[in-house]
């Protein structure tokens, strides 16, 4: 599994990461970005293959120290929330390999993250200050339709994410 941290996130964490060393399958790669929504810090993670998003909102300083574990935990939670089995979640993590963290890929990742952020900002009123995980806001982002160049068709991040599980 690979996490690509954006430059704003690297600056916030006060780290400088190398570019990706290996070409991981996009289904096992997540770009992670720092954003501020309603004056609260958030981590937005987006799957490179499908644009499927998870959102951790209201991150405090202690949370940032455990960002990889929080993102992995939320990925497992959304796999189950989408109706897939514990077996499929375990298989996803087993096939993804050990976690590596590097820089995000750049322009294409940034464009996809900007698309998700626009959707999120339109629905910011749905954010729940009492929860780190934001399934309601993520649900809206993951059901927005877009044109996937790699698949030459329109669909939603949720549709493409679940489709990828059928290929495992």
Residue 122 makes CB contacts below 8 A (sequence gap 6+) with none
Least confident stretch, 40-49, 81-90, 146-155: 146-155
Per-residue pLDDT, averaged over 73-82, amounts to 98
Higher pLDDT pick, 112 / 87:
87
pLDDT tens digits, one per residue of 114-163: 999 999 999 999 999 999 999 999 999 999 998 887 767 899 999 999 99
Instruction: Give the SS3 label for residue 161.
Output: helix
23, pLDDT greater than 90: no
Domains annotated on the chain, with CATH: 2-166 (3.30.420)
50 closest CA partner among 140, 132, 136, 162: 162
Average pLDDT over residues 71-91: 97
3-state SS, residue 89: helix
Q: Reduced to 3 states, what is the DSSP secondary structure of residue 127? A: coil
Give every strand in the sheet of 29-37, ordered side by side.
Answer: 53-57, 40-47, 29-37, 2-5, 100-103
pTM confidence score: 0.94
Q: Which residues contact 50 (CB under 8 A, 6 or more apart)?
A: 27, 148, 157, 160, 161, 163, 164
């Amino acid at each position: 599994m690979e996490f690509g941290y954006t430059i704003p996130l690297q600056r916030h964490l006060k780290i400088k990461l190398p570019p990706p060393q290996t070409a991981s399958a996009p289904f096992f790669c997540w770009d992670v970005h720092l954003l501020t929504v309603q004056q609260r810090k958030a981590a937005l993670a987006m799957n490179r293959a499908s644009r499927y998003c998870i959102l951790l909102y209201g991150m405090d300083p202690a949370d940032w120290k455990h960002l990889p574990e929080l993102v992995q935990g939320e990925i497992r939670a959304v796999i189950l929330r989408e109706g897939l089995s514990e077996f499929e979640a375990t298989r996803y993590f087993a096939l993804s390999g050990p976690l590596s963290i590097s820089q995000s890929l750049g322009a294409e990742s940034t464009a996809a993250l900007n698309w998700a952020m626009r959707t999120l900002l339109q629905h910011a009123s749905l954010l729940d200050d009492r929860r780190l995980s934001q399934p309601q806001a993520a649900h809206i982002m993951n059901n927005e339709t877009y044109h996937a160049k790699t698949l030459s068709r329109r669909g939603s991040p949720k549709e493409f994410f679940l489709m990828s599980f059928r290929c495992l």
